[in-house]
Homo-oligomer: A and B are copies of this chain.
């Protein structure tokens, strides 16, 4: 039995198979509409995340399966002092597969060690969020046609941004990827990613402070939210949050085939006017997220289309 804790749990070949399956699901959803009839997904969310939870639930329902679970710790037995290990043993009696989100790093790993059903990490604190990364990969591959030979700009909060670290780790398995790191000094990519992941693996990168100056080079622009809760004081947040706002003026500097991705939710880091630009694919990304999760559920349950 297999779990998904990190996007690196799958080899490059396995990622390719997963994305191929997701593409086939996109092309022929009716083939998969009853493949999980009688199966149940448990969504065990110790902190709310509507987007991720509903994406998993839509995915399971698209496969014909059912969903049960809880959407916040308040309505769970965690409030009675139960351990994650005991909770997953209980959930193993109720469902065939489980997606777990937890504010503590490593909680999904603990769950997977005591589970008798496949466990998917649906986000553990600032640590991993592998289905977001798989979604990003599918979006790039589907709309760009490739995962290698790309120049990707990563913009915003690169210090705390879990999705950015995770995406970098996933992309250094493909050839000739160039990273442009766009952030204020205070939110630069940490050394353990810049040095140990990008540089050590022999990939090219550069760090810049202004989005405008690199727009023309990019194949992909990956925008991220500057989360207020990551800041220690209000003043710093207010000063920096608007530094890296994407608008039509900046978009006019980019290539006609550049793609803008965003893990969402966005607050104001992408102006609403950009939504109408065909290069803005962050809502398509949401749809790809459903296909990837469908493919993942099938893969972990070892079901064929």
Contact = CB atoms under 8 A, between A and B. Distances in A.
Interface stretch (A16-24, A52-60, A126-134, A179-187): A52-60
A72 interface: yes
Given A48-B76, A61-B66, A80-B267, 19 more contacts: A40-B58, A40-B61, A50-B70, A50-B77, A50-B87, A54-B90, A57-B68, A58-B68, A58-B95, A61-B68, A67-B68, A70-B71, A72-B75, A77-B265, A81-B265, A86-B264, A89-B283, A93-B289, A93-B290
B94 A55 contact: yes
A13 interface: no
A93 B265 contact: no
Given A40-B58, A72-B74, A266 B82 contact: yes
Interface in A176-219: none
Given A68-B57, A81-B265, A265-B82, A48 B75 contact: yes
Nearest to A82: B265
Interface in A263-305: 264-267, 272, 283, 286-287, 289-290
A134 to B, nearest CB: 16
Contact of A68 (B54, B81, B89): B54
